[in-house]
Chains A and B, each alone.
Chain A
Amino acid sequence: MCLAIPVRVEALQEDEMALVDIGGIRKSVSIALVEDVAVGDYVILHVGYALNKIDPEEAERTLALFAEMGELEQIASEAAAQL
């Protein structure tokens, strides 16, 4: 029920609808609940509606957090030591 997925907006359509790509399948969904959706945006799709956009910068930041948490802390402490 709550299992929503990220999808890429391929084209904007009439009546606040958009064509999205769901792992290779194209489907028309509503973007009426989200402001300023553009082609190329990733949105979270749930029961036929985009619920929110995915922020690519924040996604990268989260991935960096997983991968380099220890290293990042080291870089930060080194940077602090140089100040």
Chain B
Amino acid sequence: MKYVDEFRDGQLAQELAQKIKREVQPGRQYHLMEFCGGHTHAIFRYGIPDLLPPEVKMIHGPGCPVCVLPIVRIDSAIELAMDHGVILCTYGDMMRVPGSRKMSLLKAKAEGADVRMVYSTLDALALARQNPEREVVFFAIGFETTTPPTAMAIQQAERLGIKNFSVFCNHVLTPSAISTILESPEVRELGTLPLDGFVGPAHVSTVIGSQPYEYFAEEYQSPVVIAGFEPLDVLQAILMLVRQINEGRAEVENEFTRAVSRDGNLKAKRIVADTFEMRREFEWRGLGMVPYSGLKIKARFAAFDAEKRFTLKRRSARENKACECPAILRGVKTPRDCKLFGTVCTPENPIGSCMVSSEGACAAHYSYGRYRDHLAADTPSNLIQKSEA
């Protein structure tokens, strides 16, 4: 497919990997965080860790919107579906995320709640028009990529005079999450999470542009390279980061110029700014309360705000204590460090959100990386001993 296949050329990937190996300085470590779940997915799917020299370590950041949504918000969505009798619609990957007491939207549906999976906010609006006697709530989550479509749906509902449609808004902002990571004690004080550079999000940046990252480069002296989601994009971005680190630079570079400009998509940004405003704080799984990191619907569109329209009980929600999602999302632990990984917690029966979404670090590692672990454990000498025994 055009603009896909040519960015997946295996021969070129090998050549890029060779370039990275040549430019890595001996004795130096390069800890690079990919912020976006799309990159996490691509890195595992195309076996990029196998191509990298041991000096380059990829750390998986909190860039999967499903993974960072706290349980209390999932509980609220389930409450909307079960107690308020609405048609609750959402994107597919939200359906199986466990809330409190292992309840999920899929289980709520099995128990009779009207939960529908939609591909687009356009489908949610269509449902509202087809069911004028029912309340239709769109459970909206996501970063800056999914926010403009939600804003469009709200504006269109107003324009068309659709009265039975509202949005349960959980949209979050990428730059504030990156700030929180850079300000975290693990990075600043303890040094347990060394971060030498960031692979910046692809599709988020098509909307917000490369400009918002300039602050990190300047303030935290952290290089950022915005990269597309194909394997060659990721390898090229790693090469560009290695070069910046070698040369002592901390700049924003853009590998994804085919879709990202400095200012981003002005039309999409304008529609978002017209529809939403910042929440003073929003809770993230793994990061806790993060100031000015989430969006709420502006008062002008209050009629379409499910949080205004329905009275939701705010219960405190309990996380599964053994689940390491919060530490994995901060990059402090890896999926392998979690006792539940691959045993109790699998993509078929996820305990934590990192295992639910295909962009979650645990699901990506389970699908593409876990056999590598076995190979690493079975070193040649072990294999010989085993075969002799």
Contacts and interface: CB of A to CB of B under 8 A. Distances in A.
Contact of A62 (B142, B258, B359): B258
B267 A34 contact: yes
Interface string B199-220: 0011110110000000000000
B265 A34 contact: yes
B266 to A, nearest CB: 8
A46 B6 CA distance: 20
B285 to A, nearest CB: 15
A1 B202 CA distance: 13
A12 interface: no
B16 interface: yes
Nearest to A6: B3
Contact of B258 (A3, A23, A47, A58): A58
A9 B287 CA distance: 40
Interface of A: 1-6, 8, 23, 29-30, 32-35, 42, 44, 46-49, 51-56, 58-59, 61-63, 65-67, 69
A1 B359 contact: yes
B37 A55 contact: no
Interface in B340-362: 357-359
Contact of B359 (A3, A55, A65, A66): A3
Contact of A66 (B148, B206, B236): B236
A40 to B, nearest CB: 11
A1 B3 CA distance: 20
Contacts of A29: 120
B267 A35 contact: yes
Contacts, number: 131
Contacts of A42: 2-3
Given A1-B66, A3-B359, A51-B148, A23 B1 contact: yes
B43 to A, nearest CB: 13
Interface string B148-183: 110010000000000000000000000000000000
A33 B120 CA distance: 14
A47 B152 contact: no
A59 B258 contact: yes
B236 A8 contact: no
Contacts of A65: 236
A44 B143 CA distance: 16
B332 interface: no
B122 interface: yes
20 contacts: A1-B142, A1-B146, A2-B63, A2-B64, A2-B204, A3-B41, A3-B229, A4-B145, A30-B120, A42-B3, A46-B149, A47-B149, A49-B120, A51-B203, A52-B206, A54-B259, A56-B258, A61-B257, A62-B255, A66-B16
A24 to B, nearest CB: 9
Given A3-B41, A6-B2, A33-B271, A46 B257 contact: no
Given A1-B37, A4-B145, A47 B203 contact: no
Nearest to A2: B38
B196 interface: no
Which of B38, B149, B233 is the most central at the interface, judged by chain A CB atoms within 10 Å of its CB? B149
Contacts of B6: 63
Which 8 pairs from chain A and chain B are nearest by CB? A48-B120, A59-B258, A6-B3, A52-B206, A58-B258, A58-B257, A2-B38, A33-B268
A56 to B, nearest CB: 8
A53 to B, nearest CB: 8
